[in-house]
C-alpha cells in the first residue's frame, strides 16, 4: 500500500544542507522536489542582483506555485519544498498548502551553526556552480531574519543537529 502524499518543508540557514536533504528525500517513490533557487534562476535570470530582488521574485514564485503544489499533492505525489521556510510567514504559506491538500507534512529543521554554514557557503561559492552566490554580508542580513520553528506553529518537526 502506498503511503499518503506528504509535504516536506525544509528549514535551515543558508548552506545548512537543505538542498542535499531535498535530494535524499526525492529518492522516495512518487516524490518530486521543487527548488526555489533553480526556479528563481530560470524564471528571473538576470533579475536576481540583490536580496530585495530575491524577496520580490520569491513572493511572485510562491503565488504562482501554490495551486500547482496543491494539485501535485492531491494527485498523490509527495512534494519536497526546497524553499526557505525560515520565518513564520514563509512556513505559514506551506502549512496552508498542507491543510488545503489535507495531507501530512513534515518540517525538517537543520540546526547548523553559523560557522559551519559559512564554511559550506564559501566552498559552494568557490565552485562557481551555484545558481546564486551569497556574500558574507548577505549571509548576515538573511541570517538576522532567521527564526527557528516553534512547536506552537503546529508543525510536525524533525530536527537535524
Q: C-alpha cell of 83?
A: 524553499
pLDDT one-digit tens code per residue, 66-113: 999 999 999 999 999 999 899 999 999 999 999 999 999 999 999 999
Strand 157-160's sheet: what is its strand order? 31-35, 78-82, 7-12, 105-110, 157-160
Phi-psi region of 84 (alpha: psi -120 to 50; beta: other; left: phi over 0): beta
Instruction: Return the domain boundaries, the chain.
Output: 7-160
Pick the CATH number of 7-160 from 3.30.470.20, 3.40.718.10, 3.40.50.2300, 3.40.50.300: 3.40.50.300
DSSP three-state, residue 75: coil
Computed over its alpha carbons, how large is the radius of gyration of the chain?
A: 15
pTM of the model: 0.92
- CA 67, 70, 76: angle at the middle one, nearest 5? 145
Q: C-alpha cell of 146?
A: 532567521
Per-residue confidence (pLDDT) for residue 130, from 0 to 100: 65
pLDDT beneath 70: ranges in the chain: 1, 129-131
- CA 150, 155, 158: angle at the middle one, nearest 5? 85
Per-residue confidence (pLDDT) for residue 127, from 0 to 100: 81
Per-residue confidence (pLDDT) for residue 34, from 0 to 100: 98
Closest by CA position to 142, among listed 63, 86, 93: 86
Per-residue confidence (pLDDT) for residue 84, from 0 to 100: 86
Amino acid at each position: 500500500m502506498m503511503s499518503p502524499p506528504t509535504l516536506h518543508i525544509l528549514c535551515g540557514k543558508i548552506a545548512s544542507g537543505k538542498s542535499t536533504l531535498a535530494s535524499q528525500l526525492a529518492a522516495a517513490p512518487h516524490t518530486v522536489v521543487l527548488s526555489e533557487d533553480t526556479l528563481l534562476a530560470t524564471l528571473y535570470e538576470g533579475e536576481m542582483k540583490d536580496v530585495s530582488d530575491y524577496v520580490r521574485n520569491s513572493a511572485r514564485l510562491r503565488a504562482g506555485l501554490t495551486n500547482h503544489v496543491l494539485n501535485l499533492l492531491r494527485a498523490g505525489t509527495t512534494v519536497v519544498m526546497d524553499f526557505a521556510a525560515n520565518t513564520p510567514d514563509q512556513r505559514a504559506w506551506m502549512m496552508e498548502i498542507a491543510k488545503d491538500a489535507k495531507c501530512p507534512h513534515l518540517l525538517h529543521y537543520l540546526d547548523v551553526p553559523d560557522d559551519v554554514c559559512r564554511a559550506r557557503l564559501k566552498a559552494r561559492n568557490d565552485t562557481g556552480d551555484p545558481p546564486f552566490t551569497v556574500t558574507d554580508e548577505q549571509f548576515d542580513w538573511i541570517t538576522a531574519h532567521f527564526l527557528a520553528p516553534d512547536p506552537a506553529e503546529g508543525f510536525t518537526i524533525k530536527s537535524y543537529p
